Amino acid sequence: MKTTLAISALALTAAVAAQAQDLAQANNAWFVTAQERLAAELAKEVYTNTALNVILLISDGNGVGTNYASRLFAGQQEGGFGDEYVQPHEAFPNLALVKTYNVNAQTPDSAGTGTAMMAGIKTKAGIIGVNENVVRGDCATLPGNTVASINEIMTEMGKETGIVSTARLTHATPASAYAKTVDRNFEAAVPEGCTEQKNIATQLIDAMEAGIIDVAMGGGMRNFHADEGGSREDGVNLIERAEGLGAHFAMDQASFDAAPRDGTPILGLFEASHMMYEADRADEPSLAEMTGAAIEVLSAKAGENGFFLQVEAGRVDHANHAGNLARVVRDQKAFADAVAMADEMTAMPTR
């Protein structure tokens, strides 16, 4: 029935278009633009080949209101009023709204929603890579309740994977690519007596060693070392461990620019905590730059096997919480630039 209705709707649309020249508004600029858009949509060819690569781009905090404000801002930066502006992600052939919630929270957090995106299940707020049977903060409830992330699944398929975020790499959304934890806050340490899991930062380097994560760039350096400014209390330097595994370590714009793009793994940690807001960014790469570098590295290593990449604009949400619209729209524009970069570097022939 739904198929029949869809075909009927297209037929009706085509019939209306055919009669458009007889209408009083036929020469109205808005009407002409709409007819041109309709003709372009009807002429599009459906791309039916199997995708080689998958890139999941997430703007944490980009609700309908934020998206609208960001559209106006971006359009005004281009010299218009903004109403007519189309952001890169709004130009994709398929768009949808998604209802989000955790099993124990109507307003979800990034740990539960990150797990939903990366593992395909709903779970509780505050826990990552585990199902709803886990009790938050209780390590004893972890065994038997972990779930596989898409990064693990893609690795089993022979693909390479990476994560890029303007938040800490141990923060909820990027951590959902590799971590299994009963509490999202176990970033640099777990409570005494918790033997069932490791802290999130250690899990990231474990994932790099296992070949599950090939590229990881974002903030959160403090969680990876015990030196001055570090959060680790176990004396372990995870950065040195990653370098020992053959990864290139980047900590500023220069070391990022110097990172090889030949498939060598990259660990980029550009701030002690989250990366700077786009409005304040200095001596560290933009989200678009990190996205482009990740695509180059993963493509070089994966070849015809393909890759999966998670990209997060993590600070849109932080600026929203702070009520700072100026930083919201600028970080969202940086996200849009990353979307455009990914689209340009991996565009389908029919796009």
Hey, which residues are catalytic here? 110
Determine the residue type at 88: P
Nearest to 61, CA basis, from 110, 14, 106: 110
- Cβ contacts of residue 110 below 8 Å, gap of 6+? 60, 171, 172, 173, 176, 184, 317
Nearest to 41, CA basis, from 61, 76, 17: 17
CA distance from start to end of the chain? 30
Distance CA 279, CA 298 (A): 29
Distance CA 105, CA 6 (A): 36
The reply, when asked if residue 312 is annotated as ligand binding, is yes
Distance CA 171, CA 251 (A): 18
**CA-based Rg of the chain, rounded to a whole angstrom?**
22
The reply, when asked if residue 171 is annotated as ligand binding, is yes
Cα–Cα distances in angstroms (integers) from residue 114 to residues 82, 179, 198, 281, 300, in the given order: 31, 11, 19, 26, 27
The label of the residue with tokens 């791309």 reads: 47
- Cβ contacts of residue 70 below 8 Å, gap of 6+? 62, 87, 328, 329, 332, 333, 336
The reply, when asked if residue 227 is annotated as ligand binding, is no
Q: Given the DSSP bridges, would you call strands 160-168 and 54-59 parallel, antiparallel or unpaired?
A: unpaired
Nearest to 64, CA basis, from 42, 33, 22, 95: 95
The reply, when asked if residue 187 is annotated as ligand binding, is no
Distance CA 106, CA 228 (A): 40
The reply, when asked if residue 225 is annotated as ligand binding, is no
- Cβ contacts of residue 221 below 8 Å, gap of 6+? 230, 239, 251, 269, 270, 271, 272
Q: Given the DSSP bridges, would you call strands 215-219 and 266-269 parallel, antiparallel or unpaired?
A: parallel
Q: Cα-flanking dihedrals φ and ψ of residue 225, to 5°?
A: -150, 165
The reply, when asked if residue 181 is annotated as ligand binding, is no
Binding residues, by number, are 60, 171, 173, 312, 317, 321
Which residues belong to the annotated binding site for Zn(2+)?
Answer: 60, 317, 321
